[in-house]
Amino acid sequence: MNKPIIVVLAAGMGSRYGGLKQMDKIGKNGEVLLDYSVYDAKRSGFGKAVFIIRHDIEKDFKETVLSRIAGSFPCELAFQEMDSLIPPDILAKSRESNRTKPWGTTHALLCAEKNIDGPFTVINADDFYGPEAFKAMGSHLAGDPVTEGAIVPYRLEKTLSPQGTVTRGVCEVKKGCLVSVNELTAIAREGDGKIYNTGPGSSKQYLEDATPVSMNFWGFPPSVFSGLRRYFDDFLNGPGGTQPKAECYLPMAADWLIKNKLLTIRVLDADASWFGVTYKEDREAAVKKLEELTRTGVYPPALWE
């Protein structure tokens, strides 16, 4: 059996961050956040990393990231562009509507299908998930055969940014399995100390601190791609195919797979801590947390030496 694969979503534009946060050097030896995820995956039994990027950042990505990791861990690149896997008629209409960016995280994952020949986890490049999360996911994906998906959710209160609203997939869990995921796009703690979603198209919604949310830490069997292709085709042939900023989110694809009984997704309790860099102002806190984790021995001073 092949070792599980870690797939890293690293093609984002970083519009709220003001730059390419997937290549912002956070560690003292030039490490970026995804270095720590790949390191945790390696020590949790994963066999290779697949990074999904854009062609225009390939040179910088190789110099900034692969120059350190590739000598210690097998790495491959996959590419997500606006025209990747898109039928010509839909692509033409999207250009008429002034679309300038790719089609979201489900699209990104489909762009890497040829690189994935075994069970895999998929994560964001700009999030820190913690070694406990990778240990739990690695154990799940080591099953033979892997037929069920998995998710490591996090407490909502631990995933907010003091700098502004965030997007989170709110999870409904029953009997250890994911029942649904509802992607909310404008979550923040307000002046009364409570957390609300105020996204467009819905009334103001209160959310409890302990609400489990998806941070795009998913585990899938390779058979998931047939369902993802169906979901993405439906997205392209619906309103999403002509809206210039519509994105096909992976949490929504997972929700569709569950509701259509195409995949069972186990909820893994990893007791892990998350942090990320949604906004530029989040960077300082991330640097301090990584310094503390290094000081206490969770990570070595230099990950890839």
Beta-sheet strands, E only, within the chain: 5-9, 48-53, 75-79, 120-124, 127-128, 149-151, 154-155, 166-174, 177-189, 195-197, 205-207, 212-214, 218-220, 265-267, 275-276
1-10 average pLDDT score:
90
**293, two tokens:** 């984790």
- pLDDT for residue 185: 86
Pair 227, 257: CB distance under 8 Å: yes
Give the dihedral sign, CA 210/215/217/221.
positive
Residue 158 lies inside a defined structural domain of this protein: yes
Residue 301 lies inside a defined structural domain of this protein: no
Q: Which domain holds residue 209?
A: 5-295
* CATH at residue 229: 3.90.550.10
pLDDT tens per residue, range 90-121: 999 999 999 988 999 999 999 999 999 999 99
Residue 102 lies inside a defined structural domain of this protein: yes
CA distances from 53 to 97, 107, 151, 248 (A): 24, 12, 23, 17
Pair 167, 187: CB distance under 8 Å: yes
Q: What is the pTM of this model?
A: 0.92
Read off the pLDDT band of 280 (50, 70, 90): confident
Number of domains in the chain: 1
Residue 304 lies inside a defined structural domain of this protein: no
- pLDDT for residue 279: 74
Is residue 70 pLDDT above 70, yes or no? yes
Q: What are phi and psi of 256, to 5 degrees?
A: -65, -40
pLDDT tens per residue, range 223-278: 999 999 999 999 999 998 889 999 999 999 999 999 999 999 999 988 888 998 87
Residue 300 lies inside a defined structural domain of this protein: no
Give the lowest-confidence range in 10-24, 42-56, 88-102, 200-214. Answer: 10-24
Is residue 27 pLDDT above 70, yes or no? yes
